[in-house]
A and B are shown apart, each in its own frame.
Chain A
Amino acid sequence: MSAAKPPFLGFGLGLRPQHYAEILNGSPEVDWFEVISENYMVEGGQPLRMLDRICERYPVVMHGVSLSIASTSPLDLDYLTRLKALAARVNPKWISDHLCWTGVHGVNLHDLLPIPYTREALDHVVDRVSQVQDFLGRRLTLENVSSYVTFGQSEMTEWEFVSEVANRADCWLLFDVNNVYVSAYNHGFSAHDFLNGVPRDRVVQFHVAGHSHEESHIVDTHDHPVCDEVWDVYRAAVAHFGPVSTMIERDDNIPPLAELVDELDHARSIAREVLGAPRLAAAE
C-alpha cells in the first residue's frame, strides 16, 4: 500500500448533476471534484458518460455514503467490489466514506449514524478499516460525521476516537469542518479542542458546508451557504493543518454553480490569508 500522503489538490466542489453542462461548457475555477461513489455504481448512460468527461479534465476523489464501516453486520463484498471497479474507472486521488454505520441486518437507514466511543467500537472499526484497505489495495479516508446524540457508555472523546482509528488502522482523515462545528454545538464541546486533537499528518481533505439551526441543536443539512461560525473553524483548521484540499459540500437546495464557486473563492482567500500566498502556491 502506498505510504505517500495524497497531494494537495487545491479547492474543489462536489459534482452534482445540476452542474454537468455548466462545468463542461464553462471550465469553472474549480481545481478538482468529489463524486458520490454510489451515484456512479450504475451500468451506463449519462451519469457514467459525464463522469468520464469530468475525469478527463479534473482530478477526482470518490466519496461514499454507505460503506457502513462501523456496522456490526458483515462487510458488503458486493458493494466493495463495485467500489473497486468504479475506482479502476475513475482513478481517484483517494476514496473516502464516513466514520459511522448506516444499518444492520441488511437494512440501510440512509443516514450517518453515531458510534459510541468505546474500546470495543474502536477495535471493531480498526479491524474493518484494515479489511477494506486490504480489499481495495489502497488507504481509505474517513470523515467525522455530525451527530445529535451521545452515548452513556462512551469512554473517550470523539477526536480521541477519530485519531486512534486513523493511527491504528493507518488511514487518512477527511476533516469535515461543518460536522465538527455541528457536533461541538450539539454536545457542548469546543471545535478547537477537536481540531487540536487530530493528528496533522492524517488529514487529506476538508469539507465545508452549511446547516440548519434548530435552537437546541443543529442539523447537518448541507442546504445552506456556509455560515460565519463555520468559516471561523475553517480558518483555525487551515492554521492548524496547513494546506489541505478543501471542498464546499452542498447536497440540497443546490444553487447555480457560480454561487458555489464564490463560496470556494472565500475558502481560497481565507487559506491565502492564513498561510500566505507563497506557501499556498508552493503546496499547489
Chain B
Amino acid sequence: MSSLKDLQESFQRGILAGDDTILAEIRDSAKEERKALFGVYRQAYVARLAEVLADDYEQLHAYLGDAGFAKFAKSYIAAHPSDRKSARDFGRHVPEFLKADAGFAKHPELAEIASLEKALADAFDGPDAEPLKLAKLAEIAPELWAKLIFTPNPTAIRLTFTTNAAEIWSALREDTAPPSTRLLPEPQAILVWRHDVTSRFRLLGAEEAMMWDEAVAGTRFGVLCEMVAIFSGEEGADFRAATYLKDWVDMGSLADFRLAP
C-alpha cells in the first residue's frame, strides 16, 4: 500500500504527465473501468485551465479562433503547471510564453495582444488609490511647481508595442474585423491604468511617453519641462508639458505629488 504522500505524487503525475502508475491504486466501478474514471481528472485539468485562459485572454482567443486558441492553451498548460492558489494567476506567463515560443513568436502581435489583456486585468484588481485632483495641484504656489514630483496611480503599467496590436485588440473588443497585422515604423507607447473601477489604456506620443517615464521615475516637473524642450523644441515646451500633466490628472493616472527638497 502506498503512503498518502506517494499516492498523491503518483496521482499528480498521472494528471500532469499521463503516467498510469496510479491506476494500480484505483478500483474499477461497477459501471466503468478505472482508466476512464481517472480520465475525468485528466480531462478536467486541461479543460479547466483552458477555460481560465479563454476568460483571461478573451481577445487573444477571438484573434486566434477556437482551434488556434486550443493549440496555444494546450502548449501553455504543458509548459506552465499552475503554481498559485488563485486560477487568476495561472495565465501570468502568457505574454512571455508567446514571445519565447518559436512558432508563436513569428506573429509578434500575439504577445502584444496578450500583454495588453494582462495589463488591463492586473489594473482591474490592482491596489486602490485616490486619483490626484486638479484642485489640490492648484493650491501649489507657481514658484514651487518646478519642484513637483509625481506619484503614478499604483495600477499604471507602461507597455511598448512594435505592432498595431492595440488597434487589433480594440477592433476585436468592438466585435469588428481586426485590421491586418503590421509592424509599426516607430514603437508605440501605451499606458494602462484603472480609473475608478474600470481598466483603461491610452496610446502615448513619443514625447508624452518620455515625460511619463521620467515623471514616474521621480524627475521634478522643472526638469520634465526642460526635457520636453530638448525632445521636440523649446517653443511651447512648458505648455506641452503642462498639457500632458493636466491630461494625466483628468484621466486619473496620477495618485499624488510631493515637493522635492
Contacts and interface: CB of A to CB of B under 8 A. Distances in A.
Interface of A: 38-39, 41-49, 66, 70-72, 76, 79, 101, 103-111, 113, 115-116, 118, 120-121, 124, 148-153, 186-188, 215-217, 219
4 tightest Cβ-Cβ pairs between the two chains A and B:
A44-B128, A42-B125, A46-B197, A216-B32
A150 B26 contact: yes
B197 A150 contact: no
A107 B83 contact: yes
Contacts of A105: 9, 12
Contacts of A48: 125, 128
Nearest to B6: A72
B202 to A, nearest CB: 18
Contact of A104 (B9, B37, B52, B128): B9
A43 B194 CA distance: 13
B84 interface: yes
Contact of A66 (B15, B38, B85, B129): B85
17 contacts: A44-B128, A45-B125, A45-B128, A49-B197, A71-B8, A72-B5, A76-B85, A107-B81, A110-B48, A148-B41, A149-B37, A150-B26, A151-B25, A152-B27, A215-B31, A219-B40, A219-B44
Interface of B: 1-5, 7-9, 11-12, 15-16, 25-27, 29-32, 34, 36-38, 40-41, 44-45, 48-49, 52, 81-88, 90, 123-129, 155, 194, 197
A82 B125 CA distance: 15
Nearest to B81: A107
B8 A101 contact: yes
A176 B152 CA distance: 47
A150 B31 CA distance: 13
A153 B83 contact: no
Given A72-B4, A113-B11, A216-B36, A43 B126 contact: yes
Q: Which of B41, B86, B87 has most chain A Cβ within 10 Å?
A: B86
A151 B27 contact: yes
A128 to B, nearest CB: 11
Contact of A186 (B29, B123, B194): B29
Given A113-B41, A148-B37, A187 B29 contact: yes
